[in-house]
Structure 1
Amino acid sequence: MTQKKILIFDDDPYVLEIFSIVLEDLGYTINQSSTSHDVLEKVATYQPDLILMDNWIPEIGGIAATQLLKTHPKFSKIPVVLVSANSEIETLAKRALADAFLPKPFDLDKLEQLIADLLKG
């Protein structure tokens, strides 16, 4: 079985490090980006199985970046999880067309379960 690839968009090095450590321990291959303006190019290059998208990522932001992906014929099937400390995260995730959302600070068990569920397909 090939390792599933996860692409993380977040501008917080601490969050990137936590996601990377936890997800690599679970057997995923990780790639990361601290900006979202070139989201389509990054996804085309890396071809992830799942994307974790920070809501407040610099340049175009997580909502616009997710909308770009979800309306793109080649990338619309890739699950995107919107990650945010915003209390309106569920509403934001719907607006972004994200497949799921994860509130910050996040629970590692929830993160693990959410990713496992989205990658089952």
Structure 2
Amino acid sequence: MSKKVFVFDDNPDILELCTIILQDAGYDIKTSSTSNHIIDQVMSYTPDIIFMDNWLPDVGGIDATRELKANDLLKNIPVIYFSANNDVKSLADQAGADGYLSKPFDIEELEAIISRHLAV
């Protein structure tokens, strides 16, 4: 069964790029441009890994990640924080994310971070 990746980003180009890359690599992918109702969104898809942008409308990436990590059913899903912000590592730490990826990223980096966190 394919591993499921959920990408949260308000930039449609990034979502499209991630979709193309990840589908090519054999993953199932769902995208969302908002992290509102983050628990409901994630519960309805139960991804194996989540990519969370920092700048999201309404609920930002840090708060959305914290909500996920505070939820007993969802806290074990790895959340990879990704942002063009220079402080992406400290933002990821503040959010309690499991890893981070700087934008712009290259395809190898994206695939490597997924395999690292989904290594069985």
Same fold (TM over 0.5): yes
For 1:40 and 1:94, locate their aligned partners in 2 and report how far apart those are by CA, in whole Å: 20
Trace 1:1-121 onto structure 2 (pairs within 5 A): 2-121=1-120
Q: What's the secondary structure of 1:6's corresponding residue?
A: strand
Shift of residue 37, structure 1, vs aligned partner: 1.1
> Residue 58 of structure 1: CA displacement?
1.1
Q: Distance in 2 between matches of 1:108 and 1:55?
A: 20
- Report the TM-score, using the length of structure 2 for normalisation: 0.98
Ranges of 4+ aligned residues in structure 1 off by more than 2 Å? none
Give the drift of 1:74. Answer: 0.5
Q: Residues of 1 paired with 2:59 and 2:41: CA distance?
A: 14
C-alpha distance after superposition, 1:7-27 (max 9, x if no partner): 110110000000000000000
Q: Which runs of 5+ in 1 are unaligned?
A: none
1-structure distance, mates of 2:26, 2:106: 18
Separation of aligned partners in 1, 2:56 and 2:24: 25
TM-score norm. by structure 1 comes to 0.97
- Over aligned residues, Cα RMSD in angstroms? 0.7
Shift of 1:29: 0.2
1:95 corresponds to which letter in structure 2?
Q
The alpha carbon displacement at 1:57 in A equals: 1.2
Q: Tell me the CA shift for residue 102 of structure 1.
A: 0.5
Letter in 2 for 1:96: A
C-alpha distance in structure 2 between counterparts of 1:45 and 1:101, whole Å: 24
